[in-house]
Amino acid sequence: MSRFVVGITGSSGIIYGLRLVEVLSSSGHEVHVVLSDEAKLVSADECLSEAELISLLRRIASSVYGEYDFTAPVASSSYLVDGTVVIPCTLKTLGEIANSIPSTLISRAALNSLRLRRSLVVVVRETPLSTLDLINMLKVSLSGGVVMPASPAFYTKPQSIQDLVDFIVGKVLDVLGLENNLYRRWEGLKPTQETSLCARFYELVDS
């Protein structure tokens, strides 16, 4: 069993973080979640109410901490973890990590992973990106982290929102070195019997 920190910040795409926690926990891993105040607000608008969100996380995660709870075990690099994932990751949090500013428990946990050469994945879900954002991504990459924009693929012939979410979560698991079958891997162009979301979007087939 491995131990991971999952930071959920206030960017759109809260469902990415929830799904990652769910998959990691169901696979028997120890998952410590750090939830930002802004994430609670975003979740209330696009996913779950604050009460529902916290209730779900307490049910599927090993521990849940607030973003300023520096008494949490994961605040210290001596509390060894196998990796940290910030998903979704705001540009503010990206900037804190890139410039070594541990002002929240999320950025602190991420920096701890970089200091110990453990896996760090930041799933940025913002567009467009400024030159400063790109420089911050480069800094994280040069420091040993992996920058993964939340860019779901369509070659997998997704049939639902969950398929799109699982593609990103599956990619995160790939980076962490964890086997998974959350998405169909590329094997070249092959005809399939599945109806694409694109076709349904343009009403070319019956939905």
> 197 pLDDT exceeds 80?
no
Task: Decide if 183 is inside a domain.
Answer: yes
Per-residue pLDDT tens over the stretch 1-23: 899 999 999 999 999 999 999 99
Task: Decide if 87 is inside a domain.
Answer: yes
Per-residue pLDDT tens over the stretch 63-92: 999 999 999 999 999 999 999 999 999 999
Domain span at residue 172 reads 3-201
Average pLDDT, the chain: 94
Residues 6 or more apart whose Cβ sits within 8 Å of residue 51: none
> 202 pLDDT exceeds 90?
no
> 108 pLDDT exceeds 80?
yes
pLDDT score for 191: 67
Task: Decide if 206 is inside a domain.
Answer: no
Per-residue pLDDT tens over the stretch 124-166: 999 999 999 999 999 999 999 999 999 999 888 888 999 999 9
Nearest Cα residue to 21 out of 10, 29, 12, 11? 29
> 207 pLDDT exceeds 70?
no
Task: Decide if 70 is inside a domain.
Answer: yes
pLDDT score for 73: 98
pLDDT score for 190: 72
Pairwise pLDDT comparison (195 vs 136), residue with the higher score: 136
Task: Decide if 16 is inside a domain.
Answer: yes
Percent of the chain having pLDDT more than 90?
Answer: 86
The number of folded domains in the chain is 1
Helices 105-115 and 91-98 cross at an angle (nearest 10°) of: 40
> 201 pLDDT exceeds 80?
no
Range name among 38-42, 68-72, 78-82, 193-197 with the lowest pLDDT average: 193-197
Pairwise pLDDT comparison (151 vs 207), residue with the higher score: 151
What pTM did the predictor assign? 0.94
pLDDT score for 192: 65
pLDDT score for 187: 84
Task: Decide if 91 is inside a domain.
Answer: yes
**CATH code at position 136:** 3.40.50.1950
Give me Rg for the CA atoms of the chain.
17
Task: Decide if 207 is inside a domain.
Answer: no
Task: Decide if 82 is inside a domain.
Answer: yes
Question: 1-28 burial string, b = 16+ CB within 10 Å, else e?
Answer: ebbbbbbbbbbebbbbbbbbbbbbbeee
Q: Which DSSP category does 192 fall into? A: -
